[in-house]
């Protein structure tokens, strides 16, 4: 570089640097990860397709059979995934055209709530795997207030949402205070509390007060006074607005408030925080309470919007674990979490359509999600797959060469 004339250096290297910046940027990394995940998914779809498997036996004799079967299986699955998540290409009207997008938004709401909560934990240096249990407790309280209490419209909804937050916060408080007071590892405590919450929910659903019909573990429906209003007759409702508001709130908390500063510092370096006179233990409690509360809010999307608005044994689904991948993909930042939530919400919305249209089981969505997150966590791997420039590796290589030269000179 140094031997180029100043003119050449500015024009030549600027283009090259721009190219390198594009190739190594975060967005490229995410897009390439999604591409790899889709390729892995395509292999699985093709592998499970009877037509593909029978035609691969004579692929060299009649390759067209193989490729048409492959295209039919993979193309069919992915086109229904796309149409289920973004645009319906055979719509009856404008609303139907955009209905899949609305479904995507609706499916993303619990992921965003829980993902925001887990993200705060990650930034505070806590690995909270307890999203599942926190959602269950939020759902228990929110659901009970929803179907058992009688309050005026509006107030009822507010109390229900608060209930969801308090329930989750309570379940987050336990690992937080145990970590602060006894040093108990929060990973283990939250895993255990997930199981405890599951059994607790199962027990509550055996009580008559929690059953709509005798001996059926399904609660009565939440009262109409406590449901989120819908927008424009679509699946989008106030819950999504609330999720966006929560994202803004988390942004303010983490970037602008004193507590957020403390959380970030404790997460980066607890020793430094203690030296600076901060109470790291109390910060852990706050992190877990807020994280749990946000995860608890995820329960509102089944209870206050959704189809059934009933409490059942599957209130938390797999949101607690999906939210971990959402928070990781979103790098624990509010905007990233919202976008990641929308991506995974879209995969889920599309996955259901794909399952009913082409018979491809929705479980493949889990594979796509986990491949995306694994690759995003390991940028060098993506760069190695696509042979992109890797500044880190280049630096290491140069250092190695330099060391070798020095050694040679020393020997000489």
Partner 1 sequence: MSTTTRPAPVAPEADLASLLPRSWKVPIALTVFTLLSAVAFALTTKATAVSRVAIMTGTTGLGTINLTFGTLRWSWALTAVMAAFTGFAWWAAANRIHQVGQLPVGTTVGTIVGVGFVCTFLLWAVADKASPLQFTGLLSGALFLSVPLIFGAMAGSVCEHVGVINVSIEGQLLAGAFLAAVVGAVTKNAWLGLLAAPVAGALIGALLALFAVRYWVDHIIVGVVLNVLVSGLTSYLFSTVLSQNTAVFSVAAKLPTWKIPLLGEIPVLGPVLFQQNVLVYIMYVGVFVLQIMMFHSRWGLRLRSCGEHPRAADTVGIKVNRTRVLNTILGGAIAGLGGAYFTVAAGLAFGKDMSGGRGYIALAAMILGGWRPKAALLAALLFGFADNLQNALGIVGVAVPSQFMLMAPYLVTIFAVAGLVGRVRAPAMEGKAYKG
Query: At its nearest, how many Å lie between partner 1 and the CB of residue 265?
Result: 19
Query: At its nearest, how many Å lie between partner 1 and the CB of residue 129?
Result: 7
Nearer to partner 1, 265 or 365 (CB): 365
Cα gap 171→115, rounded to integer Å: 16
Adjacent-strand bridge partners of 230: 237
- Vertex 154, ends 149 and 159: CA angle to 5°? 50
As a residue count, the chain comes to: 412
Nearer to partner 1, 257 or 396 (CB): 396
Distances (CA, A) of 243 to 96, 106, 161, 301: 24, 11, 12, 10
Nearer to partner 1, 96 or 399 (CB): 399
Query: At its nearest, how many Å lie between partner 1 and the CB of residue 250?
Result: 20
Q: Provide the 8-state DSSP code for 237.
A: B
Query: At its nearest, how many Å lie between partner 1 and the CB of residue 145?
Result: 22
> Where does this chain bind partner 1 (CB under 8 A)?
44, 47-48, 50, 127, 129, 174, 178, 182-185, 187-189, 191-193, 195-196, 199-200, 202-203, 206, 321-322, 324-325, 328, 360-361, 363-367, 369-371, 373-374, 377-378, 380-381
**Percentages helix, strand, coil for the chain, rounded to the nearest 5?**
75, 0, 25
Nearer to partner 1, 239 or 346 (CB): 346
Query: At its nearest, how many Å lie between partner 1 and the CB of residue 8?
Result: 36
**DSSP H or E stretch at residue 225:** none
Cα gap 194→188, rounded to integer Å: 10
- The 3-state DSSP class for residue 296 equals helix
- For residue 382, give the nearest of 21, 31, 38 by alpha carbon: 31
Nearer to partner 1, 201 or 235 (CB): 201
Round the CA-based radius of gyration of the chain to a whole number and report it.
Answer: 25
Nearer to partner 1, 130 or 293 (CB): 130
Query: At its nearest, how many Å lie between partner 1 and the CB of residue 377?
Result: 4
């Amino acid at each position: 570089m140094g031997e180029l004339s100043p003119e050449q250096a500015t024009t030549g290297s600027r283009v090259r640097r721009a190219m390198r910046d594009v190739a190594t940027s975060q967005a490229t990394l995410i897009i390439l990860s999604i591409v790899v995940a889709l390729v892995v998914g395509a292999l699985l779809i093709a592998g499970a397709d009877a037509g593909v498997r029978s035609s691969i036996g004579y692929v060299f004799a009649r390759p067209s059979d193989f490729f048409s079967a492959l295209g039919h299986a993979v193309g069919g699955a992915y086109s229904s995934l796309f149409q289920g998540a973004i645009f319906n290409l055979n719509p009856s009207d404008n609303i139907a055209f955009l209905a899949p997008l609305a479904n995507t938004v609706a499916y993303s709401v619990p992921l965003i709530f829980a993902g925001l909560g887990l993200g705060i934990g990650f930034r505070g240096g806590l690995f909270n795997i307890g999203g599942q249990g926190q959602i269950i407790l939020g759902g228990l309280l929110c659901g009970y207030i929803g179907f058992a209490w009688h309050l005026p419209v509006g107030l009822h909804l507010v109390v229900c949402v608060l209930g969801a937050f308090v329930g989750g916060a309570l379940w987050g408080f336990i690992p937080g205070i145990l970590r602060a007071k006894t040093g108990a590892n929060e990973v283990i405590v939250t895993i255990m509390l997930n199981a405890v919450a599951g059994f607790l929910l199962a027990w509550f659903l055996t009580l008559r007060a929690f059953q709509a019909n005798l001996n059926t573990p399904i609660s009565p429906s939440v009262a109409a006074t406590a449901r989120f209003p819908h927008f424009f007759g679509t699946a989008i409702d106030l819950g999504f607005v609330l999720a966006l508001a929560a994202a803004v709130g988390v942004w303010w908390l983490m970037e602008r408030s004193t507590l957020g500063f403390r959380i970030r510092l404790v997460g980066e370096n607890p020793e430094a925080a203690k030296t600076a006179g901060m109470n790291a233990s109390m910060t852990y409690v706050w992190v877990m309470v807020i994280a749990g509360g946000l995860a608890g809010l995820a329960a509102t999307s089944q209870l206050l919007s959704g189809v059934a608005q009933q409490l059942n044994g599957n209130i938390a689904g797999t949101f607690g674990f999906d939210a971990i991948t959402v928070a990781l993909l979103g790098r624990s930042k509010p905007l990233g979490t919202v976008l990641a939530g929308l991506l995974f919400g879209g995969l889920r919305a599309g996955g259901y359509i794909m399952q009913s249209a082409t018979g491809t089981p929705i479980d493949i969505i889990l594979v796509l999600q986990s491949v995306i997150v694994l690759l995003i966590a390991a940028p060098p791997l993506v760069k190695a797959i696509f042979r992109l420039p890797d500044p880190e590796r280049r630096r290491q290589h140069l250092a190695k060469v330099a060391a070798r030269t020095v050694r040679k000179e020393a020997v000489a």
